[in-house]
Amino acid sequence: MDFMATLPTILKAMTMGAVPLLLTSLGELFSERAGLVNIGLEGIMAIGAFVGFAVGKFTGNLWLGLLVGMAAGVLINMLYAFCTVTLCADQVVTGMAINIFAPAIALFGYNLFVGSNSVNATGSQMASIAIPGLSSIPFVGNAFFDQTLLAYLAFVLVPLVSYFFKHFRAGLSFRSVGENPHAAETLGIDVVRIKYVACIVCGALAAAGGAFLTLCYTPIYIDGIVMGRGFIALATVIFGRWSAVGILGASLLFGFFDGLNVALQAQFQAAPVMFFKMIPYVFTIIALVFFGSRHTGPKANGQPYYREER
Amino acid sequence: MAKKVLSMEEKNERRFMVLTPVISVLLALIVGAIIIGCLGKNPLVGYSAMLEGSLGSMAKISKTLERACPLVFTGLCAVFAYKCGVFNLGGEGQFIMGGCATAAVILGLGVDGPGALALGLLAGIVAGAIWGLLPGIMKIARGLNEMITTIMLNYVAMYFMEYIFKNAYSDQGLPKTIAIPQSARLPQVLGTHVGVIIAIAFGIFIWYVIFRTSFGFKIRAVGMNPIASRVNGFPVKRLVLLAFIISGAIAGLGGAIELLGKTPFRLADGFGSGFGFDGVAIALIAQLNPIGAIVVALLFGVLSTGGTMMQSVIGVPTAIVDIIRGLIIIFAVAGMASVRLPKIKAFLATWGARTNKAEANA
């Protein structure tokens, strides 16, 4: 294979694959910084993908689709928040419940929306905006500077989130809740409120990541469109060591594997392409095996917070 | 054996272990009915169509049982792993690999007869166990979160199966494997395949292992408190690894039985799809009780086969069944968590004491 010739294709597919991971894992970063491990990302993404698709198609306004999709993601994640924060349920179990419940709603909605009406099956896509000058840089120009606006927004979020967690009072409160909620409470931080806010942000961003799939990646919704990306996003957070910049790097890396898969499939159509399709999943595991262990996240991650407990 | 005397609190807890799932199912059905009602359809007609379609005749009952059979295995797979504190979400991958290995062994070696059947089942168990072992090793050696690795392996297994049915043992280039020869299939009993009986017997066996053997006790101890178990001298790492292997083997056996017992006796797209998460849901609703898992799997079977009938009678998409399932698990999770909350616990204790007194007075 002529590697240099396919490199732009790979890089283009890389950024396309990286954006949903980036959005979703930034959402998960908020959640985990507040001590909530949300493994329900897969489900929230499915909801975001479907609602974004359906509303975008129905109204013809893709941005409205994105917004309503994000609102739906927040709504679903409020279930998670209520169960884990207010009822102190096990976070993993609740996340799994979301993973089972949310795609079911999306599938039900899809059956109602499309069903016999196949006109609704294909939505429209956001146009990509090429930044003059920058987009003609060889190799990387097309990949990074010819994106949809949503993708640019996702990349712009990275420094903002990073700055928020390092320099903002609210960001520091988030981190203290994730490290030691009891100490945070004694400092006058409303732990429960912070956790709910984290869930709102997480739901919105994860749903935006899902909506990217139907609004920018492919113009259709199918059951299981998320294809494990919610779990890869979890790996992205671990691999990015719970920092926004790290997450950017990690999602580009995982996006690269996705891009490699796409490029190889295009290159060797006669070969058993299913082995190429395994690439993102296999390399996620390999990346975690070599670089993803022994780095624990926020200390109070995954533990329920009983306010009265001493 | 003298009957164990339970404290009031334990008695209450046991009552809620049974009550919560039952109430969750009822609530989910009610919410499902409201959704159906909102679509302008009659939920009662829908639910009776569901019962009619799943339990209306012998043939339908056996179809429901066959649908529930793989779910029993993936449910038990999840139960066994969670009892040891391992969150195995890879039931689907292990199930698929079991099916793949069975197909590869029988079709690859070109064998048939009961020997091939035994060989196929064995291959399924081994393949499932290996697919369970991989995340186990990664967890123990590198501390990786098994939830992520098992999900990734699910997709790898899914694409591997695609290779099996599209390339390796494809039926004249069609995207499905050659059918398993007649003589190597599971025998039929009472209109259904013998795998259903194996599944139920196996569930009782797993219950016995978990709750009545010292090995099961160790597994549970590790699940409840790994540090205390290590202090007690239990080989925690080995037990966790064993839990991964056994849980994978259970799912692998399920995959082998599904392939060898259920028409069309071949691998094709969609084989085992969704069974892993269904298994997780079953385990959670059943409060990690293997016998409960059989019951919940049967309920899921009724919902699935009945959902099709409901769709054709009142025209509500079958996905309503998925919503009902999702609601059951959410209600069950929220219910179990809320009865453990300090305030509600205290309230329930006084309420429980009152009813107990009333029972004593009566």
Given this model, what pLDDT does residue A2 score? 63
Give ipTM to 2 decimals: 0.92
Chain A residues with CB-CB distance to B325 below 8 A: 100, 104
Given this model, what pLDDT does residue A295 score? 62
Residue B32: helix, strand or coil by DSSP?
helix
Chain B residues with CB-CB distance to A289 below 8 A: 138, 142, 144
Taken in order of first residue, the domains within chain B and their CATH numbers are 61-335 (1.10.3470)
**Cβ-nearest to A100 among B143, B145, B325:** B325
Inter-chain residue contact B322 with A104, CB threshold 8 Å: yes
Asked if A98 and A80 count as a contact pair (C-beta separation under 8 A), the reply is yes
Inter-chain residue contact A105 with B326, CB threshold 8 Å: yes
Asked if A81 and A193 count as a contact pair (C-beta separation under 8 A), the reply is no
**Cβ-nearest to A87 among B319, B323, B338:** B338
Place of tokens 């890869």: A232
| Backbone φ and ψ of B268, nearest 5° | -155, 175
- Half-sphere exposure of residue B31: CA atoms within 13 angstroms, side-chain side: 17
Residue whose C-alpha is closest to residue A308's, from A193, A174, A171, A185: A185
A 245-274 residues inside an 8 A Cβ radius of B: 272, 274
How does DSSP assign B108-166, residue by residue?
HHT--SHHHHHHHHHHHHHHHHHHHHHHHHHHHHH---HHHHHHHHHHHHHHHHHHIII
Structure tokens given for B182:
């007649």
Given this model, what pLDDT does residue B253 score? 97
CB neighbour list of residue B327: distance below 8 Å, 6 or more residues apart: A101, B24, B27, B28, B31, B32
Given this model, what pLDDT does residue B341 score? 79
- Half-sphere exposure of residue B179: CA atoms within 13 angstroms, side-chain side: 9
Residue B55 buriedness (CB in 10 A; 0-12 / 13-18 / 19+)? middle
Residue B115 buriedness (CB in 10 A; 0-12 / 13-18 / 19+)? exposed
Find the helix or strand (DSSP H, E) in which A182 lies.
helix A181-186
Residue B40 buriedness (CB in 10 A; 0-12 / 13-18 / 19+)? exposed
B 23-62 residues inside an 8 A Cβ radius of A: 39
Instruction: Determine contact: A140 vs chain B, CB below 8 A.
Output: no
Q: What is the Cα–Cα distance from B155 to A274, expressed in whole angstroms?
A: 10
Local confidence pLDDT in tens for the 362 residues of chain B: 445 556 666 777 777 788 889 999 999 999 999 999 999 899 999 999 999 999 999 999 999 999 999 999 999 999 999 999 999 999 999 999 999 999 999 999 988 889 999 999 999 999 999 999 999 999 999 888 899 999 999 999 999 999 999 988 988 888 999 999 999 999 988 778 899 999 999 999 999 999 999 999 999 999 999 999 999 999 999 999 999 999 999 999 999 999 999 988 999 998 999 999 999 999 999 999 999 999 999 999 999 999 989 999 998 888 999 999 999 999 999 988 888 777 777 777 777 677 666 666 65
Q: What is the Cα–Cα distance from B339 to B353, expressed in whole angstroms?
A: 15
| Backbone φ and ψ of A139, nearest 5° | 65, -70
Q: What is the Cα–Cα distance from A9 to A173, expressed in whole angstroms?
A: 42
Q: Could you count the other beta carbons within 10 Å of the beta carbon of residue B228?
A: 12
Cis peptide before A280 (omega within 30 of 0): no
What dihedral angle (degrees, nearest 10) is formed by the CA atoms of B151, B153, B159, B160?
-150
**Cβ-nearest to B155 among A90, A228, A238:** A228
B 142-171 residues inside an 8 A Cβ radius of A: 142-145, 147-149, 151-156, 159-160, 162-163, 166-167
Given this model, what pLDDT does residue B98 score? 97
Q: Could you count the other beta carbons within 10 Å of the beta carbon of residue B351?
A: 12
Model confidence pLDDT, tens digit, residues A53-69: 999 999 989 999 999 99
Nearest-Cα distance to chain B for A63, in Å, is: 28
Residue whose C-alpha is closest to residue B79's, from B251, B316, B265, B298: B251
Burial readout B177-195 (b: 16 or more C-beta within 10 A, e: otherwise): bbbbbeebbbeeeeebbbb
Chain B residues with CB-CB distance to A274 below 8 A: 159-160, 162-163, 166
Inter-chain residue contact A83 with B334, CB threshold 8 Å: yes
Share of chain A above pLDDT 90, in %: 57
Instruction: Determine contact: A89 vs chain B, CB below 8 A.
Output: yes
Which 3-state string (H, E, C) describes B288-339? CCHHHHHHHHHHHHHHHHHHHHHHHHHCCCCHHHHHHHHHHHHHHHHHHHHH
Nearest-Cα distance to chain B for A215, in Å, is: 23
Chain A residues with CB-CB distance to B333 below 8 A: 83, 89-90, 93-94, 97
| Backbone φ and ψ of A161, nearest 5° | -65, -45
Instruction: Determine contact: A92 vs chain B, CB below 8 A.
Output: yes
What is the count of residue pairs from A and B with beta carbons less than 8 Å apart? 140
**What radius of gyration do chain A's Cα atoms show?**
19
DSSP 8-class letter at B244: H
Residue of B nearest to A273 (CA): B163
Structure tokens given for A305:
């917070």
Longest pairwise C-alpha distance within chain B: 75
Given this model, what pLDDT does residue B352 score? 67
Given this model, what pLDDT does residue A6 score? 77
Average pLDDT over residues A231-237: 93
CA angle, B194 then B196 then B201, to 5°: 100
A 37-76 residues inside an 8 A Cβ radius of B: 39
